Chain A
Amino acid sequence: MKANYGYMDGSGEYYITIDTDPCNDCADHPCVSACPVGMFEIIVDDYDDEVAAIKEENRKKVKYDCAPCKPVTDRPPLPCVKACPADAITHSW
Chain B
Amino acid sequence: MAEDKKEFWRWKEYNWHDDTKDWKSAETITAGVDVGSVSSQAVIMLDGELYAYSNMRTGSDSPDSARKAMDWALEGTGLTLEGIHFIVGTGYGRVNVPFSNRAITEIACHARGGNMMYGNTVRTILDMGGQDCKAILCDERGKVSNFLMNDKCAAGTGRGMEVFADLLAVPIEEVGELSLDVEEEPPPVSSTCVVFAKSEATSLLRDGWSKKRVLAAYCSAMALRVVGLLERIGVEKDFAITGGIAKNSGVVIRLERQLGLKALQSKYDTQIAGALGAALFAKTLVEKKRKQAV
Q: Say yes or no for A91: interface residue by CB 8 A criterion.
A: no
Interface residues on chain A, number (Cβ under 8 Å) = 14
Q: Which residue of B lies closest to A61 (CB)?
A: B152
Given the complex, which residues of B lie within 8 Å of A46, measured CB to CB?
Answer: 104-105, 107-108, 144, 281
A-B contact count (CB 8 A): 41
Instruction: Return B228 CB to nearest CB of chain A, in Å.
Output: 6
Cα–Cα distance between A10 and B151 once the two chains are bound (Å): 14
A3 and B147 contacting across the interface, CB-CB below 8 Å: yes
Q: Say yes or no for B145: interface residue by CB 8 A criterion.
A: yes
Interface residues on chain B, number (Cβ under 8 Å) = 22
Instruction: Return A32 CB to nearest CB of chain B, in Å.
Output: 20
Given the known interface contacts A46-B105, A46-B108, A60-B151, the answer about A15 and B146 at a Cβ–Cβ threshold of 8 Å is no
A2 and B143 contacting across the interface, CB-CB below 8 Å: no
Give the dominant DSSP class at A's interface.
Answer: strand
Q: Say yes or no for A8: interface residue by CB 8 A criterion.
A: yes
Q: Mark A1-32, 1 if CB is under 8 A from B, else 0.
A: 11110011110010100000000000000000
Given the complex, which residues of B lie within 8 Å of A4, measured CB to CB?
Answer: 146-149, 232-233
Q: Say yes or no for B182: interface residue by CB 8 A criterion.
A: no
What are 20 residue pairs bridging A and B, where the CB atoms are less than 8 Å apart in the complex?
A1-B144, A1-B145, A1-B147, A2-B145, A2-B146, A3-B146, A4-B146, A4-B147, A7-B151, A8-B152, A8-B229, A8-B232, A9-B152, A10-B191, A10-B193, A13-B232, A46-B104, A46-B281, A47-B108, A92-B232
**Which of A's residues lie within 8 Å of B, judged by CB?**
1-4, 7-10, 13, 15, 46-47, 60, 92
